[in-house]
Amino acid sequence: MNQMQKMVNVAQQLGESLKSREQVLVTAESCTGGLIGAICTEVAGSSSWFYGGVISYANDAKVKGLGVKECTLASFGAVSEETVREMCAGALQLGGTLAIAVSGVAGPAGGSPEKPVGCVYIGWQLLGQETVIQRCQFEGNRQSVREATVLTALEGVSALLER
């Protein structure tokens, strides 16, 4: 099974879980550029559990589209726990009951010693609950970092729902 099919399979299982719990997913994506939404919408019937999302690649899009504070970006950067927390909150303002937010350095350039290529923050938030955030360090090229981010993000929703 290729990586694309694996991601779609995870999304399909997630969709069944979300539907059975009457939850609706919304996304706030930076480094994945909409790939989480694309994978979710590969699943027939996903409109019953996938609200949509914001591709907030530029910092200005994070501010205007998701309400991330400029001071958060200035103090912590786009690739940070603080920014991803605000991205989740902003996504939930748009709709849905469960948010995924991702921001990271997909590469091949743009990394730093503190946040090297492959560093990605992923956040999950159920409406009315605290945000769960994970810092990941993925290996490989740009595409493999993006795909690993999508897989980890979708699997993390399932783990959150099981709690």
pTM of the model: 0.96
pLDDT digit string (tens) for 20-54?
999 999 999 999 999 999 999 999 999 999 999 99
Answer yes or no: are the C-beta atoms of 118 and 54 closer than 8 Å.
no
- Largest interatomic CA distance in the chain: 44
Tell me what percent of the chain is helix, strand and coil, each rounded to the nearest 5. Answer: 45, 20, 35
Q: Rounded distance, CA 36 to CA 135, Å?
A: 17
Q: Among 3.90.950.20, 3.30.70.260, 3.40.50.360, 3.30.70.1380, what is the CATH number of 3-162? A: 3.90.950.20
pLDDT digit string (tens) for 70-128?
999 999 999 999 999 999 999 999 999 999 999 999 999 988 999 999 999 999 999 99
Which tokens go with 48?
């019953």
